[in-house]
Amino acid sequence: MLLHPLMEKLSTLKLVGMARALEEQIRNPEAESLSFTDRLGLLVDRESVERENRRMTSRLKAARLREAAAVEDIDYRHPRGLDKALMLKLAACAFVREHLNVFITGPTGAGKTYLSCALGNKACREGFSVLYVRLPRLLENLGVGRGDGRYAKILDAFARIELLILDDWAIAPLTDEQRRDLFEILEDRYGRKSTIVVSQLPVEKWHDAIGEPTLADAILDRLLHNGYKIALRGESLRKKKGQQRLTEIGHCEKQ
């Protein structure tokens, strides 16, 4: 078969990686010394790698992570109560495979969202579906969905996400309807999927923040008994970085 029709057929079959690898082999005289099976194996390997890269890119896009964070870039130098051994354990993503949860709490600017997005990024790279969402926005969407008939569909979509990151947990009082919505989400996920909860409030105050005692008991019962706690402390990292930038600017101006 002539090269041009062959490349077109590979493109039609969506074997883009294989087509690129074939072009590279044709341009490389050393490839002619390889056996047919070796050259075919290289083409198949390239196609496999490029497909996985496309799937990973798709997962990262669908995750809507708020920050471009990576576990490899986590800063352990600041004294904020971050356990490096625990983070490395979580970065292996066994907690996602075992359907366990993670609770990240601490003051504003401590790096809670960054840590959650770093774990979400790693989970995407490990092949898991991930979604980052602020809890107030999620509950708002469910309220709208109840009115336009999409409520069950939205709940089903959240139930399928292998790692759901809920940021801004307990940032505002919940209505009775929102408490029931939150219970439905966590009931669907309990023992089946993993959830990362990010909150300024310590875990001990979540019950009061949720409000109605019976639903608070039911919600936390499905969340707290199978997870890891990361309680950050200390001064805002954003504030420290801002002060550092101002110092550097001042130093440059003096020079």
Taking only the tens place, the pLDDT of each residue in 192-245 is: 999 999 999 999 999 999 999 999 999 999 999 889 999 998 765 555 554 444
| Residue 95: pLDDT band with limits 50, 70, 90 | very high
The pLDDT of residue 250 is above 80: no
* Cβ–Cβ under 8 Å, residues 172 and 202: no
Q: 31 or 66: whose pLDDT is higher?
A: 66
Q: Which residue(s) pair with 104 in the sheet?
A: 198, 230
Pair 181, 100 in one domain: yes
Pair 173, 218 in one domain: yes
> What sign does the dihedral 136-140-143-149 (CA atoms) show?
negative
**Mean pLDDT across the chain:** 89
Q: Residue 119 in 3-state DSSP?
A: helix
* Cβ–Cβ under 8 Å, residues 134 and 100: no
- How is 68-87 classified by DSSP, letter by letter? ---GGG----S-S---HHHH
Pair 39, 155 in one domain: no
Q: Could you tell me the CATH number of the domain that includes residue 217?
A: 3.40.50.300
**CA nearest 195: which of 131, 152, 142, 140?**
131
253 assigned to some structural domain: no
For the chain, give the percent of residues with pLDDT over 90. Answer: 64
| Residue 254: pLDDT band with limits 50, 70, 90 | low
Pair 34, 68 in one domain: no
Residue 136: exposure state from Cβ atoms within 10 A (0-12, 13-18, ≥19) = middle
Query: What pLDDT does 48 receive?
Result: 86
Domain count, the chain: 2
Pair 97, 53 in one domain: no
- Cα separation, 176 vs 215, whole angstroms: 9
Domain extent for 12: 3-60
**Strand locations in the chain (E):** 101-105, 130-134, 163-167, 194-199, 227-231
- Cα separation, 24 vs 165, whole angstroms: 41
The pLDDT of residue 125 is above 60: yes
What's the average model confidence in pLDDT over 63-72? 96
What's the average model confidence in pLDDT over 179-185? 96
Pair 14, 139 in one domain: no
Pair 22, 116 in one domain: no
- Cα separation, 201 vs 210, whole angstroms: 11
Query: What pLDDT does 242 receive?
Result: 46
* Cβ–Cβ under 8 Å, residues 153 and 145: yes
Pair 21, 92 in one domain: no
Query: What pLDDT does 229 receive?
Result: 96
* Cβ–Cβ under 8 Å, residues 125 and 56: yes
111 assigned to some structural domain: yes
One-letter amino acid at 252 equals C
Query: What pLDDT does 238 receive?
Result: 53
